[in-house]
Amino acid sequence: MTIYDHIGANKLRTLTAVAFYPVLLLISTGLVFFLVLSMLYDVSNPLIIRVLNWVHISIFYELQSQPFNYWLNEGFLYVLTGVLGFCSIMLVISFFFGDELIFSYTSPHAREATKKTHPQLVSMVEVSAIAAGLPAPEVYVAPDESANLYSLGRGPKDACIIITEGALKILNKSELEAVLAYQMYNIGNREILMTTTGISFVYGIVMISALLPFSRIKIGRGLWGWIISLTLIFYGLIIAPAVQILISRARVFTSDAGAALITRNPLALLSALEKMRGHGTRIETIENQPLLSNMCILPAERPEKEDYFGYVFGWFDSHPDIEDRLLALADMEGRYKQRLEGTFKT
């Protein structure tokens, strides 16, 4: 499968996955609501009684006064309204402040690169921005010996690139241009908007779900408040991260192609990826967090041993297998040379 095939397949996957976000939220709400309500009616189960006593749900005693279908109709709309309300609020916060929150968490010690401190790096970013037809983003250097980089922001006008000191040390000029072009493509193609907003949205939902039952907000009290909280936990910890990771995995091949097209040098990106993999790409603040890791050009974590479980769950890794990326870039280099020589055949 060539890198051009990956680009075409990526568009359909991304649109399908994005369309499924609200559908999955509705399904998650209905599933959690039905399961919790069904369990509450099983009063013979001592475990259920213990849980009820622990969370002090007084409405439990009211459940027995009405049939199951009555509460199913009465409570579902209330719970769905609460879930949609909190998700909408968190989505707005993530859109406007997500990049700042993620930056402060992942790069607390990063310093902005200027023409005085890093003249060559700033110059290369400006050249890459011109080649991509974009305004030059701010660049920050993280004091980390690993070799990795990522970008944040809502769009080209407020984007920034964070690169580690390790990457600056091991990459030559053409390789550095290639990895910067990778991030410039993500910025120009608005990939960073989905990544930045999606990550902050998921973490925000999980935080709200943990605090909601203990807050003084009216909608968060009683049985319905706990169901809303459980729904947000289920959606925020399982459903949304899985969709986000699958979208990001599919987009990696597109970004590789975009970088190669900007630089007209697929082998430079291929060489950079191989060097960075050999040097180590682990970032301490991002390690073991696949959602944050998928911002980076390579996984920001230690490579795991290949075994049966690694193969089964590898589909949910933050990045596709690097060997597939290298093969696709090598194929693209061959096609690019054929176009220059006039021997390319479709």
CA distance 282 to 90: 29
Res 147 pLDDT > 70 = yes
CA distances from 41 to 62, 67, 70, 121, 223 (A): 11, 10, 13, 64, 13
Which helix (H) or strand (E) covers residue 111, if one does?
Answer: strand 111-112
Flag whether the pTM goes above 0.85: no
Mean pLDDT of the chain: 79
For position 221, what pLDDT does the model report? 65
The tens digit of pLDDT for each residue in 121-144 reads 999 999 999 988 889 999 999 999
In a domain, residue 269? The reply is yes
Instruction: Examine residue 84 and state whether it is found in any structural domain, yes or no.
Output: yes
SS (H, E, C) 29-42: HHHHHHHHHHHHCC
240 assigned to some structural domain: yes
pLDDT band at 23 (very low <50, low <70, confident <90, very high): confident
Q: Quick check: is 346 in a domain?
A: no
Whole-angstrom distance, CA of residue 331 vs CA of residue 80: 49
Angle between helical axes of 46-55 and 3-40 (0-180°, round to 10): 90
Asked if the structure places residue 160 within a domain, the reply is no
Provide mean pLDDT across the span 281-306.
77
**Residue 133 covered by a domain:** no
Q: What's the structural domain count of the chain?
A: 1
What string of DSSP letters covers 129-173? HHHHTSPPPEEEEE--SS--EEEESSSGGG-EEEEEHHHHHH--H
Domain that holds residue 328: 3-109+188-341
Tell whether the model's pLDDT for residue 113 goes beyond 90.
yes
Residue 192 lies in a domain: yes
Domain assignment present for 250: yes
339 has a pLDDT exceeding 60: no
- Residue with the larger pLDDT of the pair 115 and 191: 115
